[in-house]
Structure 1
Amino acid sequence: MTQTSVPDQKDGGATILEIGQQPDAWREVAGRSDEHAEAFVRDLLSRPELRIVLTGAGSSAFAGEIAAPLLRRHLHRRVEPIATTSIVASPLDHLEPETPTLLVSFARSGNSPESLATTALADQLVDQVWHLVLTCDREGKLGRAHADRPDSLVVYMPDRTNDSGFAMTSSLTSMLLTCLLMLGPAQSNQVEALARAAEHVAGLQDDIRALAQSKKQRFVYLGSGPLEGLARESALKLLELTAGEVVTYFDSPLGFRHGPKSVLDADTLAVVYVSTDPYTRRYDLDIIAELRSQLGADAVRVISAVPIPDEYGAALVLPGLDDLPDALVALPYLVFGQYLALFTSLDYGKTPDNPFPSGEVSRVVRGVTIYPMAGAR
């Protein structure tokens, strides 16, 4: 991406380009093959006692929350999403010295202090540990630290996914897709359906922009299973790009009723991500009916891979996804959340590539002190 190709901030800056490039980036990810990487993963997965920890900070942590349920069911082993920020603050609560562990690190730049500290703590505390580093920056510290280690595999995303904008967009989805292709049941021939669904969302930008112009003060995102991680990421994206000017919240449809529903008011927009699992979808439909009864139909947006019954109202149905698991449909669902965050940011007069021009919040976290853990074992 050249500097002259980037739209003005009032038109979305680099962020709108980085959202829009995702379908082609996913096709590029799916089209790659690496025999060494395949052998590395195959050897580790042959170990029945292997524990897999998916880690990252912020959006990178939420990628693990989306992927873990599907990987757990597919691999029939422990797969746990644990944020680097949790591991660094309390490593002995999360790292098991005697359990062979594959630590999967999601890291856009690989320069976050917690990312580097987490892999170092795992090396220090776990007897047998391997590292799979998924990152976008070939000059990043994490990738360079693990590049030549026999117990590590570093996989770089396509260069264009090293987002220059403040919020993670194509970097996040490319790392998540790579993880699901390498460790999960995802197949490269499924990626075309995901890419076309995302292109369908991109064709609805005028509608999403009009939704953002409603100037709601509160946004609630709901999803079950892997889609709860998606809801969390969608809420963060909107919070980041509006520089905290709007209140955002996420939960599962069932969990939302247990107190958090108190956040609803007349200025709330609710977004429900509908599961492709028929059993889980029943709970999604229940909360859709409840929210529309309370807030009105126009204050609830429903994103689904399958048509929903007429009595539950309108939904944005993304084509070609009805036979895919939730962790995969989360990718084009997320494109909707990214566009909604971007257009809401613009409507609030923010600069989406840098919503914090005075530096209160930075693209790569600064100011974190990492303390040595001497004598931990």
Structure 2
Amino acid sequence: MSILQKKTKEFESIKTLRSAPLAEQRAAGYADTLREILQQPQTWQGTAEHIAQPAAREPFARALQPRPTHIVLTGSGSSMYIGESLAPTLQAELGISTQAIAAGTLLTHLRGTLPPGPGLLVSFARSGDSPESCGVVSRILEEASDWRHLVITCNAQGKLATLYRDEPRVDVVVLDERTNDRSLVMTSSFSNLLLAGTGLLQAGQGAIPATALPSLVEAVQQVFDHHGEAIAGMARRDFDAAVYLGSGGGIGIAREAALKMLEMTGGKVITLAETFLGLRHGPMSSVHPKTLIVAFLSSDPVVRGYEADLLRELSRKQLGLARLIVGEGIPADLVGVDDVAIDLRGVAGHGEVPTLLAEVVAGQLLAFFRCLHLGDKPDTPSQGVLTRVVEDFAIHGAG
């Protein structure tokens, strides 16, 4: 019996999916996405080692010389959410004003959004071939000469990596080719680009010390080995909407996880990403009996207090179908009988970024299993609507 003929319930097993012949995986449309989700712990180790090498540290060091007054993190879609996830850590550690601005916003409203220089623009990109990626860099090079540029990409052959080779204001960091996801949806490319962005800290040595990597890898492997079936079971629940909650850099992870669900279900599951505190100000009205709640908890105990209060309020009001709660040391009273809690043991003590990397994996798996449950193909969702790289469009002159 092929994997396509098996009952949906069997999709709950990562082991079953992974052990199927490659031809069957491709026919079912999940071969690339599953491989790219599962390879993340290994590729993180490679990325951390890469950005710690002396030659790889040089672009990060040059990017901060002279010291910028502002850092802008940019990208499109998932690449934009990398910036939202990383900005609080960079600002706290570097003491430099740091914000994430979408490449499309910079392209259409540069004068009203780009802070005064001297500044550093960090462009995150899987392929580096999206039209707005080079459009933004080229325009800022022309109109804001006191800005330096750092490109972090997964594609050595992409336009962002090749077009500016003779431009001294642009440095490029290219990650291992394995991170250049083949699936339409970004998974390992997202997390590795996020990790690589920490190379701006400590002269390129990164925000995750070598001693923290084993804990992070072990925690994520535990998600694969011991929580996969529970996540798959939740993906089969009767919901048509999902609300994703995060705080600080976690809002970037919430938006990325929400996008994964939206993309992989072709909009069959409507998603909303919001901060825990922001949910009370109107968006809570959208939490109905068929809404799944996904809560990415902060590793900061003060922030966690606000998050726990919000989840308890949702319980009192009996809002939502069920919850997927991800974080370390989850209080027992936050977890109801219909909920799934994923405890990321040993991760929280190493700063925000390791927690974010582990949390996004849980969000990826939830969307992956929901896609399979609905009979769709994670590698190529929304065929005819979405493409792996956004199609070319006209870049118009400045207004």
Q: After alignment, is 231-240 or 27-36 more displaced?
A: 27-36
Which residue identity lines up with residue 238 of structure 1 in the other structure? M
Q: In 2, distance between residues paired with 1:12 and 1:93? A: 42
Q: Where in structure 2 are the equivalents of 1:305-324 lying within 5 Å?
A: 305=328, 307-313=329-335, 315-324=341-350
Residues 188 and 46 of structure 1: is their aligned pair in 2 closer, same or farther, counting only changes over 3 Å? farther
Q: Which of 160, 184, 188 is residue 210 of structure 2 equivalent to? A: 188
Which runs of 5 or more residues in structure 1 are unaligned?
Answer: none
Q: Deviations over 1:303-344 (max 9, x none)?
A: 112x23333236321111121222331101000000000000
Q: Deviations over 1:97-146 (max 9, x none)?
A: x5112111100000000101110111011121221111111211111113
**Offset at 1:296?**
6.7
Tell me if structure 1 keeps the 8 A contact 2:63–2:150. no
3-state SS of paired residue (1:323)? helix
Report the counterpart of residue 341 of structure 1 in structure 2. Answer: 367
Residues 324 and 34 of structure 1: is their aligned pair in 2 closer, same or farther, counting only changes over 3 Å? closer
| Percent of residue pairs bearing the same amino acid type | 35
**Offset at 1:298?**
6.4
Which runs of 5 or more residues in structure 2 are unaligned?
Answer: 1-20
1:117 and 2:130 aligned: no
Q: In 2, distance between residues paired with 1:283 and 1:102? A: 33
Q: In 2, distance between residues paired with 1:18 and 1:288? A: 32
Which residue identity lines up with residue 211 of structure 2 in the other structure? N
Tell me if structure 2 keeps the 8 A contact 1:44–1:50. no
1:369 and 2:394 aligned: yes
Report the counterpart of residue 87 of structure 1 in structure 2. Answer: 106
TM-score normalised by length of structure 1: 0.92
1:227 and 2:250 aligned: yes
Report the counterpart of residue 274 of structure 1 in structure 2. Answer: 297
**Offset at 1:194?**
1.8
Report the counterpart of residue 208 of structure 1 in structure 2. Answer: 231
Q: In 2, distance between residues paired with 1:40 and 1:163? A: 24
TM-score normalised by length of structure 2: 0.87
Q: Deviations over 1:272-319 (max 9, x none)?
A: 1111101100111011112233347961221112x2333323632111
Q: Which of 341, 352, 355 is residue 326 of structure 1 equivalent to? A: 352
**Offset at 1:46?**
5.0
Q: Where in structure 2 are the equivalents of 1:126-165 lying within 5 Å?
A: 126-165=144-183
Which residue identity lines up with residue 134 of structure 1 in the other structure? I
Which residue identity lines up with residue 349 of structure 2 in the other structure? D
Residues 191 and 9 of structure 1: is their aligned pair in 2 closer, same or farther, counting only changes over 3 Å? farther
**Offset at 1:5?**
4.2
Q: Deviations over 1:178-228 (max 9, x none)?
A: 111333533233222222221111112111111101131011100111101
**Offset at 1:43?**
4.2
Q: In 1, distance between residues paired with 2:165 and 2:221? A: 35
**Offset at 1:239?**
0.1
3-state SS of paired residue (2:273)? strand
Q: In 2, distance between residues paired with 1:302 and 1:291? A: 13
Q: Which of 258, 266, 280 is residue 281 of structure 2 equivalent to? A: 258
Q: In 2, distance between residues paired with 1:262 and 1:367? A: 38
Q: Which of 71, 82, 90 is residue 63 of structure 1 equivalent to? A: 82
Q: After alignment, is 258-267 or 5-14 more displaced?
A: 5-14
Q: After alignment, is 113-122 or 49-58 more displaced?
A: 49-58
